Structure 1
Amino acid sequence: MHIDQWIESVSPTSVYALIGLIIGLESLGIPLPGEIALVSAALLSASGSVSPWWVAACAIAGAIIGDSIGYSIGRKGGKPLFERLGRKFPKHFGPDHLATAERSFQKWGMWAVFFGRFIALLRIFAGPLAGALKMPYWKFLIANVLGGVVWAGGTTLLVYQVGKVAEQWLKGFSWVGLVAAVLVGAGSAWVLKRRAAKAAAAYQEPAGTAEPAPAAAE
């Protein structure tokens, strides 16, 4: 059963708890589909089954608490923790993933925690890596809270509004509206995928590469 079908099958109170738990565990450093769970719950709220405000509140709480626990774990475990995780879970914590996340921290500093909310790779690394790199907690906390509110709260309310509009649109245009919605969604996903690929390629370029100097004339 997919996570969206699972969410639809439980009670509203359970939905709130599950959203907070899934996003909290993902933020802590466990690779779970937090974004899929959040979007599914937000779409469910558009149908009136659950409250978008409670979905947003639980998602924000899960994001902030999970990242804070991840920060504490990373601060105690340090980089050896990531090396052990890389050996056990190379698909999620391999050297390439860690190097990409570290470059993001070098480039953005504390704001890597904020922007990491919007990037799947950084979302599971941000808290633990900030702790391992000994980022001052007050800086981490500011970026953590802002990122949690903007990402979790903003995503919930945006998807809720889109869901309400789409529901009315599909009622009026039947299959034509459905086809148009699918095309728009596919186009948006393609654009986002291309941008993400370009960003990943840029991060993976070796730092400090330069053309070799010409040989001196004899």
Structure 2
Amino acid sequence: MHVQEWLDTVPAAAVYAVVALVIGLESLGIPLPGEIVLVSAALLSSQHSAINPIVLGACATAGAVIGDSIGYAIGRKGGRPLLAWLARKFPRHFSEGHVATAEKSFEKWGMWAVFFGRFIALLRIFAGPLAGVLHMPYWKFLTANVLGGICWAGGTTAVIYYVGVVAEDWLKRFSYLGLVVAVLIGLASMLVIRRKAKKAQGAQQEEVEVGAP
């Protein structure tokens, strides 16, 4: 079952909770499809009034900020051994190459790596734990974490919601336009058929008159 189809079967409160939980766990360092869940829920909110996009965005932001903060604390305490353990558990995401790439980003951009990392799938998983491992000052991390969470979660929710509303409105208009076109085509076809029928009838009458003595 598709994510959006599954979310459509649960109450609105459960949708908020699932979005916050999945995004929080992803931000904590567990590879989960947080962005897919958020996009699906935001698109669903554009189709169902029961799901409030503002509440959805707030829950997604809270999950992102809290998850990243927990990941930071775990990374700070676990250090390098934590990265080695994660590499064994999730070799696809925490390989030496991926860790090295993330570290270079942190060394180059500092707290901005946390902010912009929120918009990149790989860094979104790394940001919290790696910032803790590298002992980034918490106030810098928290500032970038909150701003990044608001811009990513809130921005994604708003964009997908309005895209869904516009698309649904366009499809409705398109359906009305299609109905009008279909009616016009039907009327035109009927007029052409009637015109051809009259011509055929007139030709038949002429033949009868010519053949009459």
TM-score interval, normalised by the smaller of the two chains: 0.7 to 0.9
Q: Could you tell me how far 1:106 is from its partner in structure 2? A: 1.3
Q: Could you tell me how far 1:2 is from its partner in structure 2? A: 2.6
- Equivalent residue pairs, number: 176
Structure 1 portions without partners, runs of 5+ = 178-218
Question: What SS does structure 1 have at the residue aligned with 2:92?
Answer: helix
- Partners in 2 of 1:54 and 1:156 — Cα distance? 10
The two structures have a TM-score, normalised by structure 1, of 0.78
- Partners in 1 of 2:40 and 2:122 — Cα distance? 20
Partner residue, 1:72: 73
> What are the equivalent positions in structure 2 for 1:118-129 lying under 5 Å apart?
118-129=119-130
> What are the equivalent positions in structure 2 for 1:1-218 lying under 5 Å apart?
1-47=1-47, 48-174=49-175
- Partners in 2 of 1:132 and 1:62 — Cα distance? 21
Q: Could you tell me how far 1:22 is from its partner in structure 2? A: 0.5
Q: Could you tell me how far 1:99 is from its partner in structure 2? A: 1.0
The two structures have a TM-score, normalised by structure 2, of 0.80
Q: Does the CA contact (< 8 Å) of 1:4 and 1:36 recur in 2?
A: no
Q: Could you tell me how far 1:4 is from its partner in structure 2? A: 2.0
The letter of the residue matching 2:156 is: T
Q: CA RMSD in A?
A: 1.4
The letter of the residue matching 1:137 is: Y
Q: Could you tell me how far 1:34 is from its partner in structure 2? A: 0.3
- Partners in 1 of 2:4 and 2:25 — Cα distance? 17
Q: Could you tell me how far 1:108 is from its partner in structure 2? A: 0.8
Question: What SS does structure 2 have at the residue aligned with 1:92?
Answer: coil
- Partners in 1 of 2:111 and 2:170 — Cα distance? 41
Paired-residue identity, %: 70
- Partners in 2 of 1:22 and 1:153 — Cα distance? 16
Q: Could you tell me how far 1:170 is from its partner in structure 2? A: 1.2
Q: Could you tell me how far 1:62 is from its partner in structure 2? A: 0.3
Question: What SS does structure 1 have at the residue aligned with 2:93?
Answer: helix
Q: Could you tell me how far 1:83 is from its partner in structure 2? A: 1.0
Q: Does the CA contact (< 8 Å) of 1:113 and 1:144 recur in 2?
A: yes
The letter of the residue matching 1:149 is: I
